[in-house]
Amino acid sequence: MQGSGLGQLNTRQIEKHLKSAVDTLTPNILERIDFSVPQTRMSGQEQQNQMMLLRLQRRMRRLAAAAAACVCLVMIGGGSFYYHMENRRVESIIGIDVNPSVELSINRNGRVLKVRALNEDAVEIIDGMDLVGVDLNVAVNAVVGAMVTHGYLDDLDNAILVTVSNDSVRKARELRSSVVEDIEDALKENQVEAVVYDQQVIEDEEIDAIARQYGISYGKAYFLKELIDQNKNLIMDDMEELSSMSMEEIAGRIAERSYALGELADQAEEPETPEETSREPEPSEETTVFLETATEPESSETAAEEKETTSAAETTATPSTTAPSAAAQEEPPEEDTVEIDYVDYEDGMVYVCFLERVKWNTPSVVVRDKEGNSYAAMVTDFSRNDCSIEVDGLEEEKEYTFVLGGLYPAGSSTAVTVKGYFEVPEIASEVLDEDDTQPDETEESSGQEIDADDREPTDVKDTISETKEAEETFESRRETSSEAVEGDSEDSEEDASREQ
Amino acid sequence: MSDEELLKRVGAGDTDAFRQLYHNTDRTVYSFILSILKNPQDAEEVMQETYLKIWTSAASYHSQGKPLAWIFTIARNLCYMRFRDLKRQADLGLDELNGEETGELCLPLENLADAMVLRSALEILKEDERQIVLLHASAGLKHREIAADLQMPLATVLSKYNRAIKKLKQYLREE
């Protein structure tokens, strides 16, 4: 392992050395802490400082005015008054764009504080509706219902864009999936089908300026800007035309011209990896997610019903937005495949890392067990190299298949589907102990395929058969749909660490 | 008892709770600070300042379910203050007076492989990659915890981690 042997280190060994190094270096400074130093209670000034720190940390804060009000309130420090005001503070903003664009500002409890019509069509939609104080799901239902009543959502080719803005990525994600669910419920209730795009956004002055310039919602501006950034054949001048289109027309255009939708996730300034030449601008590390949920099964309890819905939704969507991926599912071209680097399951989340760079257009995922039952699953995050799938209701010690759709190999305009496997380990959510020996065992068995990312794709196949026999906590395999080449590479996240 | 609970007790002046919190978090906090400062000596001093600050300011911690994120904020600010100090020293030419070398990073580690891997990580990775790699590999935090504490999307943490490890492998292979 020493000297020139370092060149052969695999992931586990690197991690082990890092751990050992830091373990050795970590000083014990506990005895140097002088407990006689008085503890400070929050002075107004300090509190202000702390809030400023927090504010610095939270980038691109929306509604600075509300935040400032919040700072003042904390300083006042009145308990119930604080809570009262907290409930009046806008925590998230939900944008719903069809052609009418409606914006709902909600507080931390999910109650509507304000409804804004962002264009003339929307004025008509929310006219006479008093949604202030009602729960978000009720408001969403009412807005979608009114859009149906007014004929903006009809039998054909509907598209809805849902935009969630919240300082916390996690909260935005939760909210996003809940709003999408609400919208789907409302659509079902009104017997209308639609492609639902959803995105979570961050505040960006440039987008604000675009929104104002073209008189469109922030969400739509974000969506279109992203679309233009992602597609070389689109330029900012196209904004004029695109901004005047309804979401249905935009969705049609996306399908017709096979535009890529995607995200600007990581800062990919990686000169070390020449194959990863980044062309897109990388504004921040926030992830913007576009997700077409119409193709996803939702609940395992109603699997049969869901299947129907799924296929129905797919059919509806086929002529419009899902055309590329639908085509790929039927006839995947031989040369366009996406290789999986590794799959990792942990606590209701499946992480999939790809060997090559991918682009996304309305990702979808279906998770099934061997019996063909489908499970509620959703692609919650994705980037050029990987994605996370949230999945519910899986049983331990069973093997599952996932099929990802809506992704493109970098440089290709043909969507592919990627199929992979994973097994839910016996103790799924519980953490193996921090004990050093425990991870080592896993290390031994999984060590071989950890380096799969360094191998030729064909090697991966061999790796599978090796690791299938190995008794591991995590096991996963993958195959690309087009070639049905199986492979396994799994870098089971060594979360046999602390559970805190 | 959770770190959250402990932190509350620390705020009330409970030194036992502080000790417990220290033992729960020392490796994580040190990894975080080292990932920013890249220098064990500075990291040790800032670690001490961080824990002192935790002791003195725990009462001002507002429960958000993320005690580590709060601690990281303190540590990060102290690290940046340290950078400012170092810069001032450099401007004044104090480094030369102290005989400090700005060249290769010196790690007091007997195990050469450990030293080599850590030095590589500190030297070739970018700050966010260092944070993620050290917090996961050295401090044992889950990717998901790192995502929450560093306020990054999980997928970003995963891809950065993956990329950083690849970079390290490549670098070590070439060394």
Output the 3-class SS for B48-106.
HHHHHHHHHHHHHCCCCCCHHHHHHHHHHHHHHHHHHHHHHHHHHCHHHHHCCCCCCCC
For residue A442, give every residue at least 6 positions away whose Cβ sits within 8 Å of its Cβ, in sequence order, or none: A472, A473, A474, A492, A494, A496
Residues A170 and A91: their CA atoms lie apart, in Å, by 13
Tens-place pLDDT, residues A279-291:
333 333 333 344 4
Structure-token pair, residue B168: 């390290």
A321 CA: distance to closest CA in chain B (Å)? 25
Tell me if A30 and B26 make a contact (CB, 8 A cut-off). yes
Tens-place pLDDT, residues A373-393:
888 888 887 777 788 888 888
Q: Which residues 130-159 on chain B approach chain A with CB closer than 8 angstroms?
A: 133-134, 136-145, 148, 151-156, 158-159
pLDDT at residue A355, rounded to an integer? 81
Placement of tokens 């695109």 in the chain: A242
**pTM of the model as a whole:** 0.39
pLDDT at residue A273, rounded to an integer? 34
Element (H or E) spanning A388, and its range?
A: strand A386-391
B102 CA: distance to closest CA in chain A (Å)? 20
CB A18 within 8 A of CB B121: yes
Q: Which of A21, A32, A39 sits opposite B118 (nearest CB)?
A: A21
Phi, then psi, of A290 in degrees rounded to 5: -105, 135
Q: What is the ipTM of this complex?
A: 0.92
Which DSSP state fits A427? S
Residues A145 and A190: their CA atoms lie apart, in Å, by 7
Residues A446 and B65: their CA atoms lie apart, in Å, by 34
Tens-place pLDDT, residues B45-86:
999 999 999 999 998 888 777 899 999 999 999 998 888 888
Domain boundaries, chain A: 44-88, 92-259, 331-487
Angle at Cα B116 formed by Cα B111 and Cα B119, nearest 5°? 120
**Interchain contact B163–A (C-beta under 8 A):** yes
Tens-place pLDDT, residues A398-426:
889 998 988 888 777 778 888 888 888 77
Question: What are the C-alpha distances in Å from A385 to residues A312, A354, A401, A434?
Answer: 31, 5, 20, 29
Looking at the DSSP assignment, which residues form a beta bridge with residue A198? A162, A291
pLDDT at residue A474, rounded to an integer? 37
pLDDT at residue A256, rounded to an integer? 78
Least Cα distance to A295 among A245, A250, A356, A362 occurs for A362
CB A427 within 8 A of CB A410: no
Strands A101-106, A92-97: parallel, antiparallel or unpaired by DSSP? antiparallel
Q: The domain at A331-487 falls in which architecture? A: Sandwich (2.60)
Q: Which of A35, A53, A272 sits opposite B73 (nearest CB)?
A: A53
Q: Which residue has the higher pLDDT, B41 or A442?
A: B41
The domains located in chain B, with CATH, are 1-103 (1.10.1740.10), 105-175 (1.10.10.10)
Q: Which of A14, A26, A57 sits opposite B168 (nearest CB)?
A: A14
Q: Per-residue pLDDT averaged across A14-31, rounded?
A: 92
Tens-place pLDDT, residues A336-358:
688 888 888 877 888 888 888 88
Where do the DSSP E strands lie in A226-300?
A: 291-292
Q: Which residues 7-26 on chain B approach chain A with CB closer than 8 angstroms?
A: 11, 13, 15, 18-19, 22-24, 26
Tell me if A53 and B44 make a contact (CB, 8 A cut-off). no
